[in-house]
């Protein structure tokens, strides 16, 4: 049997998905609007106990049409598992569309029109679920959360909140010259602090587990698989695997922006 | 506002989608099982009046996760429009997975295990809808229909039935040396015969229209757009456009089988 995400048939999500903003709200010079919005991952049935705010969808997410399914997703899925949360979560992003260019994300971090639609989702999710903890991944998600907290609906939230370093922080730090080992150790130290802060406030875990911290290196045991129940029906299992399977490709920036190559990982091909 | 296909949340479709067969039923040497099954396109809410059986999903369908969304889909959508059917249809394929190789489709045309799951869908669709006409696209779909008609449930079907040449018949005929102009004329003649047979039996069209035949050439007016309501939410409009946007790529047969390149059509890129 193959579990799957039933998607957005239920209100208020059906209405939210019907009314998504486009390039009039997300300027195409700063966002890859041409790939369409990617809305969420996780439960939309009112059973979420943890609400997660990520940043923006990348190439894998543009194909799987759910957020946080690539390497970042598997790392963070492991964090949730350490909290005993295997299915009772829902994730949305700061931005519906993939950020294009280095400054697009920051430039729009206080954009009220972009925030309005995001706030409608946060209103819906905090009303529809008994949220015990909100987790923001990265500083843009942290800003998004605080913007919502300043709204009338947001002031009513009474659960826990934690801002974590983004799961791909070590990768982006290394890309700008940082020591990758130290960057990973910094991520894991930050996440250990987050575990300490959150483990006790998750009073309805899916599987109660004693708190186990990360070491200074990320191990295979620290990752968790993206559940089949999180993706649309029929998507192959390798779209949830630990191998990269989607990449932008092109000789020019315009072609690279317009092209995603989807490749079945070699070990998942028919023999 | 953006309409979208709410998908498979409703029974019996949720159960059908959970229990799809894999490589144990569809041998990987004859089917691209590694890309996952693609189930349907159209209404799953009981409002379909026309039931369509196609052949198998190709590259576009593997990404959009709905069947008949490429060139074949737009041609056939135009045929449905001539019948006054704009939304009251549902389409399934003979095969859940893309046929690999020249003979895979024919080799499994009488496979009882493959048929069993297809029959479960046909049982569900004919029970759930007041179907006035069934249309099979191509000879494999025709075989699939007749196999179901021989089942206990199938003998009870009392509506019309028409086997049409597959919408890409002219392309495949031309690829094997036929005159493409004559091949297209043959398709359109066959479809005109189909219009004559079916126009009168569709007693609940979405938009009643006088019967307008095809000429000897397919014109732009003969095509119809894939409705936004047929695709999962958030998919960009160019995934329903008349431009090809998905292609297999690879230097070896194995690499080509494992790779789909998705390219935003040039006229749909941000300027």
Name residues 84-113 of chain B within 8 A of A (Cβ).
none
Q: Is B234 close to A33, i.e. CB distance below 8 A? A: no
Q: Is the dihedral of CA B79, B264, A9, A75 positive or negative?
A: positive
Residue A227 is given by DSSP the state P
Q: Is A261 close to B259, i.e. CB distance below 8 A? A: yes
Helix (H) or strand (E) holding B15: helix B13-18
Q: How do residues B13-29 score in pLDDT, each as one tens digit?
A: 999 999 999 999 999 99
Name residues 217-256 of chain A within 8 A of B (Cβ).
232-236, 238, 249, 254
Question: Does residue B183 sit within a domain?
Answer: yes
Closest CA to B119 of B36, B111, B68, A6: B111
Q: How do residues B137-191 score in pLDDT, each as one tens digit?
A: 999 999 999 999 999 999 999 999 999 999 999 999 999 999 999 999 999 999 9
Rounded to a whole number of angstroms, the distance from the CA of A189 to the nearest CA of chain B is 37
Residues of A in contact with B27 (CB under 8 A): none
Of A23, A259, A263, the CB nearest to B263: A259
Helix (H) or strand (E) holding B174: helix B169-175
Residue A209, pLDDT score: 95
Rounded to a whole number of angstroms, the distance from the CA of B261 to the nearest CA of chain A is 4
Question: How many residue pairs bridge chain A and chain B with CB atoms within 8 Å of each other?
Answer: 130
How far out from the chain centre does Cα B86 lie?
A: 15
Specify the pTM.
Answer: 0.96
Cα–Cα distance for residue pair A174/A139, rounded to 1 Å: 18
Q: How do residues B33-60 score in pLDDT, each as one tens digit?
A: 999 999 999 999 999 999 999 999 999 9
Contacts of B254 (CB under 8 A, 6+ apart): A269
Q: How do residues B117-134 score in pLDDT, each as one tens digit?
A: 999 999 999 999 999 999
Residues of A in contact with B35 (CB under 8 A): 236, 264
Give residue B189's domain range. 30-210
Cα–Cα distance for residue pair B137/A43, rounded to 1 Å: 38
Residue of B1, B264, B265, B269 for testing the chain A interface, max A β-carbons within 10 Å: B264
Question: Does residue B77 sit within a domain?
Answer: yes
Is-contact B134 B161, C-beta < 8 A? yes
Q: What three-state secondary structure class fits A63?
A: helix
What value of ipTM does the predicted structure carry? 0.96
Sort A88 into a burial class: Cβ within 10 Å, 0-12 / 13-18 / 19+.
Answer: buried
Average pLDDT, chain B: 96
Q: Is A17 close to B8, i.e. CB distance below 8 A? A: no
Residues of B in contact with A18 (CB under 8 A): 1-4, 233
> According to the 3-state scheme, what is the secondary structure of B151-163?
CCCHHHCCCEEEE
Question: Does residue A176 sit within a domain?
Answer: yes
Q: How do residues A167-207 score in pLDDT, each as one tens digit?
A: 999 999 999 999 999 999 999 999 999 999 999 999 999 99
Question: Does residue A175 sit within a domain?
Answer: yes
Cα–Cα distance for residue pair A245/A198, rounded to 1 Å: 33
Name residues 109-138 of chain B within 8 A of A (Cβ).
none
How far out from the chain centre does Cα B191 lie?
A: 16
Question: How far, in Å, are A232, A245, B92, B222, B226 from residue B41 at the CA level?
Answer: 14, 26, 7, 20, 10
Helix (H) or strand (E) holding B135: strand B133-137
CATH number at residue A82: 3.40.470.10
Tokens of A215: 């070491």
Name residues 4-43 of chain B within 8 A of A (Cβ).
4, 6-10, 14, 17-20, 23, 28-29, 33-39
Does any CB of chain A come closer than 8 Å to the CB of residue B216? Answer: no
Sort B155 into a burial class: Cβ within 10 Å, 0-12 / 13-18 / 19+.
Answer: exposed
Question: Does residue B269 sit within a domain?
Answer: no
Q: How many residues can be counted in chain B? A: 271
Closest CA to A213 of A188, A182, A183: A188
Q: Is the dihedral of CA A39, A42, A47, A52 positive or negative?
A: negative
Name residues 45-74 of chain B within 8 A of A (Cβ).
63, 65
Q: Is B63 close to A23, i.e. CB distance below 8 A? A: no
Question: How far, in Å, are A13, A231, B188 from residue B169 at the CA level?
Answer: 41, 34, 10
Rounded to a whole number of angstroms, the distance from the CA of B227 to the nearest CA of chain A is 14
Q: Is A262 close to B260, i.e. CB distance below 8 A? A: yes
Does any CB of chain B come closer than 8 Å to the CB of residue A176? Answer: no
Closest CA to A37 of A51, A48, A23: A23
Residues of A in contact with B19 (CB under 8 A): 1-2
Residue B101, pLDDT score: 87
Low-confidence ranges of chain A (pLDDT < 50): none
Q: How do residues B75-129 score in pLDDT, each as one tens digit?
A: 999 999 999 999 999 999 999 999 998 788 999 999 999 999 999 999 999 999 9
Does any CB of chain B come closer than 8 Å to the CB of residue A258? Answer: yes
Closest residue in chain B to residue A64, using alpha carbons only: B63
Other CB atoms within a 10 A radius of the CB of residue B264 amount to 23
Q: Is A7 close to B3, i.e. CB distance below 8 A? A: no
Tokens of A93: 């992003």
Of A7, A35, A270, the CB nearest to B28: A270
Closest residue in chain A to residue B10, using alpha carbons only: A6
Residues of A in contact with B8 (CB under 8 A): 4, 6, 233
Rounded to a whole number of angstroms, the distance from the CA of B3 to the nearest CA of chain A is 6
Q: Is B1 close to A18, i.e. CB distance below 8 A? A: yes
Largest pairwise CA distance in chain B = 57
In the predicted structure, residue B197 carries a pLDDT above the cut 80: yes
Question: Does residue A271 sit within a domain?
Answer: no
Question: Does residue A76 sit within a domain?
Answer: yes
Q: Is B33 close to A270, i.e. CB distance below 8 A? A: yes
Q: What three-state secondary structure class fits B50?
A: strand
Question: Does residue B50 sit within a domain?
Answer: yes
**Rounded CA Rg of chain B:** 18
Q: At what angle do helices B71-82 and B180-198 cross, to 10 degrees?
A: 40
DSSP A128-191: HS---EEEEESHHHHHHHHHHHTSTTGGG--SEEEEE--TTHHHHHHHTT--HHHHHHHHHHHH
Q: B7: left (phi > 0), else alpha (psi -120 to 50), else beta? A: left
User: Which of B37-67 are b and which e, b meaning 16 or more Cβ less than 10 Å from the residue's Cβ?
Assistant: bbbbbbbbeebbbbbbbbbbbbbbbbbbbbb
Q: Is B258 close to A263, i.e. CB distance below 8 A? A: yes
Q: How do residues A253-265 score in pLDDT, each as one tens digit?
A: 999 999 999 999 9
Rounded to a whole number of angstroms, the distance from the CA of B266 to the nearest CA of chain A is 8
Does any CB of chain B come closer than 8 Å to the CB of residue A156? Answer: no
Tokens of B240: 């329903």
Rounded to a whole number of angstroms, the distance from the CA of B188 to the nearest CA of chain A is 34
Give the total number of structural domains in chain B. 1
Residue B241, pLDDT score: 86
Closest CA to B44 of B6, B76, B93: B6
Question: How far, in Å, are B19, B35, B61, B130 from residue B22 at the CA level?
Answer: 9, 11, 18, 30
Q: How many CA atoms lie within 13 A of A187 on its CB side?
A: 26
């Amino acid at each position: 049997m193959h579990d799957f995400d039933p998607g957005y048939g239920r209100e208020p999500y059906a209405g939210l998905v019907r009314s998504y903003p486009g390039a009039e709200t997300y300027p195409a010079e700063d966002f890859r609007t041409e790939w369409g919005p990617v809305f969420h991952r996780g439960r939309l049935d009112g059973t979420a106990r943890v609400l997660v705010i990520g940043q923006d969808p990348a190439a894998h997410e543009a194909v799987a049409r759910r957020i946080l399914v690539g390497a970042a997703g598997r790392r963070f899925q492991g964090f949730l598992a350490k909290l005993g949360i295997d299915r009772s979560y829902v994730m949305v992003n700061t931005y519906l569309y993939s950020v294009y260019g280095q400054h697009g994300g920051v430039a729009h971090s206080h954009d009220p029109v972009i925030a309005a639609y995001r706030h409608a989702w946060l209103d819906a999710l905090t009303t529809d679920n008994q949220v015990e903890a909100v987790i923001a991944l990265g500083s843009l998600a942290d800003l998004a959360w605080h913007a919502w907290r300043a709204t009338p609906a947001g002031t009513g939230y009474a659960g826990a909140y934690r801002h974590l370093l983004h799961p791909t922080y070590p990768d982006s730090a290394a890309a700008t010259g940082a020591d990758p080992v130290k960057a990973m150790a910094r991520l894991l130290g930050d996440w250990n602090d987050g575990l300490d802060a959150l483990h006790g406030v998750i009073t309805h875990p899916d599987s109660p587990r004693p708190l186990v911290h990360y070491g200074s290196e990320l191990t295979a045991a620290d990752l968790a698989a993206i559940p089949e129940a999180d993706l649309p029906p029929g998507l192959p299992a390798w779209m949830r695997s630990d191998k990269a399977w989607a990449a932008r490709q092109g000789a020019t920036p315009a072609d690279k922006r317009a092209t995603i190559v989807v490749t079945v990982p070699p070990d998942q091909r028919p023999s």
